[in-house]
Chain A
Amino acid sequence: MAESTHETMVDREIDRSHMQVSDEVAIQITEMNKWYGAFHVLRDINLTVNRGERIVICGPSGSGKSTLIRCINRLEEHQAGQIIVDGTELTSDLKNIDKIRSEVGMCFQHFNLFPHLTILENCTLAPIWVRKTPRKEAEETAMHFLEKVKIPEQALKYPGQLSGGQQQRVAIARSLCMKPRIMLFDEPTSALDPEMIKEVLDTMIELAEEGMTMICVTHEMGFARQVANRVIFMDAGQIVEQNEPEPFFNNPQSDRTKLFLSQILGH
């Protein structure tokens, strides 16, 4: 996956300039803490994500990566600190939560497509009911994004009839149909066979190249090198290290990071 270094370099340069011109903040997390019962999962998380930034989060299993990313669209509730997404603070106000969720797309490890609806219906459901888009327009948008993820011919099938990689691409298209300003990915490729991983990563790379703000939990280090502006390493509920990909991988500072990288890249 590290084969397209040339393209990547160009991309990242373009993107950094983009970051400089617009210092608009997409997500701001300050002093955020979360407990599951008495278990302190997330501790003093501080993280600012600018518009157009692509962030990869990695770390050992159980370190709280999923929990962090799920707090951003309030699939999990935080108990202390502040999360501001797209200028709106996440509180228990349901209206705010639904508004933020419609602006933040999310892709899950197990796709979470709706098995009783066709691919096309999966993609048009939220635009029609949440955005009140007319059905026809929603279907056109859906077909546009299904073409983008290269499976328009599957539109009338049901999720159960598709391969894992195809399902994950549908899930991405479904999120994109809401025209989100931010995309969250929680290990989108870890339930997939190797040959399907590439098709999903390609889709995500394309998305990144278009300047989408992305936060991605993944262990695909090639992907991280290629598209990330920043790599965040988490352990025991804390952000242990963050850096640009090159220095992060080539010259990690913390011992935990070194250990993790040696384990994950070792074989």
Chain B
Amino acid sequence: MAEKSFVRMEMLPEQAPPASSVGVIGWVRANLFSSWFNSILTVISIYFIWRVLAGILPWVFLSVWDADSLAGCREVIAANWPGAESAEHACWAVINERWLQLLYGFYPPELYWRPNLAIILLFVALAPVLFADRVPRKLLYVTMVYPFLMPWLLWGGTIWGPLMAAAGFVIGFYVIKILSDEIGALSAMIVGVLATVTWWLGAGPAVADALSGTLPIGIEAVESRKFGGFMLSVLIGVVAIGVSLPIGIVLALGRQSDLLIVKGICVGFIEFIRGVPLITLLFVASTLLNIFLPPGTNFDIILRVMIMVTLFAAAYMAEVIRGGLAALPKGQYEGADSLGLDYWQSQRLIIMPQALKISIPGIVSTFIGIFKDTTLVSIIGLLDPLGLANAIRADAAWNGVYWELFAFIALLFFVFCFSMSRYSMYLERKLQTDHR
């Protein structure tokens, strides 16, 4: 009996943990050398990493920055590191000479401030969306103006064009607002969209022309063929990302709709686009569309490409979001319904916030994929960084430079893609409220 019953009379004081389990030594022991197998793996890995770095680091850092051609680079290498092969040392001189071109394409240098301003404003416009709880909500006005300001900054020309495009949205908004009580939300929305499109195709440009005739306010115009470099990638990427998300949401909802026609259109669209390689769509944009458009229409090539990339992204987005919708328990729909929320209210307040949250990793993957896919436009002759790399090599001075150009381009893309990836992790953590 006495052995089994026990009552503690004195509570033990807290003691420091043994030295071998804390600090650097503790960490190394626990993580790198916890068993003989683990130790062997650690040693092999360290050796492997050392070999890789020993190959790359000298190439990166023992390199040539000042030369005016690849031959010049090779001379410097031969002089500085006698006996070394020229491939053992990078020739960054090409980046040094051409980095502005890689960033801006053939955009007029005296107007570089415009894309610069556009990208700064992009971050200002994104801030209230990405960090809603940390920046003043007033910044949302910048976000609303940005889609019209950005094209004007980049392409220049009269200010009335973008203003009339914005007016199209205002018209659509008021048409929907006024009609939705009379003829129901769905019909009002259809009429609203039709009104907007009619305005854009018909009255809008006419009014813009008339106004710019009488009141010519504008900045110097820049033609699309001067666009290029990383600026072009970011431009296409940002538009595709920004526009494909709302279209994707609508497509995903349409795919779940009870209305057979709506559902059929959405399914058909999604499956068609997903079944066709992006490059095919880009060829359609660059060549085939010209055949179908009435002769003499001037449908900007960059705009065409942006539309194709956006549609492509939207189809993938729709499927990612559908996955999020499918993951929501039926009870959430019923909870919303039983409180009397209508379809759009429950979508906006209950369903979408949760479905989008679930889909964040997939959405961001799609974003990253689309951003990288913008490099495909080089195949149809647009001068994105890859296209420019070819153009630069075509110059006799730099014929034969490969690694340096690709490494630079890769770095640019990596910075953007990695930021997106980190942001998505931040967002997931922030939205974690279910405490499961």
Binding site for B on A (CB under 8 A): 73, 75, 94, 98-106, 108, 110-116, 125-126, 129-130, 158-161, 174-175, 178
Contact = CB atoms under 8 A, between A and B. Distances in A.
A126 B334 contact: no
Interface string B414-436: 00000000000000000101111
22 contacts: A73-B338, A75-B334, A75-B338, A101-B337, A101-B338, A101-B340, A105-B338, A110-B331, A112-B329, A112-B335, A114-B332, A116-B431, A125-B349, A125-B350, A126-B340, A129-B349, A130-B341, A158-B435, A160-B434, A160-B435, A174-B339, A175-B338
Nearest to A128: B349
A71 to B, nearest CB: 13
A142 B353 CA distance: 22
A161 B433 CA distance: 9
A256 B183 CA distance: 52
Closest 5 CB pairs between A and B?
A102-B340, A112-B335, A160-B435, A126-B339, A112-B331
B345 interface: yes
Nearest to B339: A126
Nearest to A131: B340
Contacts of B334: 75, 108, 112
Interface string B318-342: 0000000000010110111111111
B340 A178 contact: yes
Nearest to B346: A129
A160 B340 contact: no
B337 A75 contact: yes
Given A104-B338, A175-B338, 16 more contacts: A73-B338, A98-B342, A100-B340, A108-B335, A111-B331, A112-B329, A114-B335, A114-B350, A116-B431, A116-B434, A129-B349, A130-B340, A130-B341, A158-B435, A175-B339, A178-B339
B357 interface: yes
Interface of B: 329, 331-332, 334-342, 345, 349-350, 353-354, 357, 431, 433-436
Contacts of B337: 73, 75, 101
A129 B341 contact: yes
Contacts of B339: 101-102, 125-126, 130, 174-175, 178
Contacts of A161: 435
Contacts of A101: 337-340
A191 to B, nearest CB: 11
A83 to B, nearest CB: 16
Nearest to A160: B435
Contacts of B350: 114, 125
A98 B340 contact: yes
A87 to B, nearest CB: 16
A99 B341 CA distance: 9
A99 B340 contact: yes
A110 B330 CA distance: 11
Nearest to B184: A94
B346 to A, nearest CB: 9
A160 B341 contact: no
Contacts of A116: 353-354, 357, 431, 433-434
A103 B345 CA distance: 17
B345 A130 contact: yes
Contact of A94 (B342, B349, B353, B436): B342
B342 A160 contact: no
B350 to A, nearest CB: 6
A100 to B, nearest CB: 8
B140 to A, nearest CB: 19
B335 A160 contact: no
A115 B436 CA distance: 10
A52 to B, nearest CB: 22
Contacts of B354: 114-116
Contacts of A103: 340
Contacts of A115: 354, 433-434
A26 B345 CA distance: 27
Contacts of A126: 339-341
A129 B338 contact: no
B303 to A, nearest CB: 37
Contacts of B335: 108, 112-114
Contacts of A158: 433-435
Contacts of B341: 98, 125-126, 129-130
Contacts of B332: 112, 114
A78 B311 CA distance: 40
A75 B332 CA distance: 12
A108 B433 contact: no
A106 B433 contact: no
Contacts of A108: 331, 334-335, 338
Contacts of B436: 160
A110 B331 CA distance: 8
A130 B339 CA distance: 8
A129 B357 CA distance: 22
Nearest to A106: B338
Contacts of B357: 116
Nearest to B350: A114
B359 to A, nearest CB: 13
A101 B336 CA distance: 10
Contacts of A178: 339-340
Given A98-B340, A102-B340, A129 B345 contact: yes
Contacts of B435: 158, 160-161
B167 to A, nearest CB: 30
Contacts of B329: 110, 112
B329 to A, nearest CB: 8
Interface core residue of A103, A113, A125 (most chain B CB under 10 Å): A125
Contacts of B349: 125, 129
A114 B333 CA distance: 10
Nearest to A161: B435
A142 to B, nearest CB: 13
A245 B329 CA distance: 36
B348 to A, nearest CB: 9
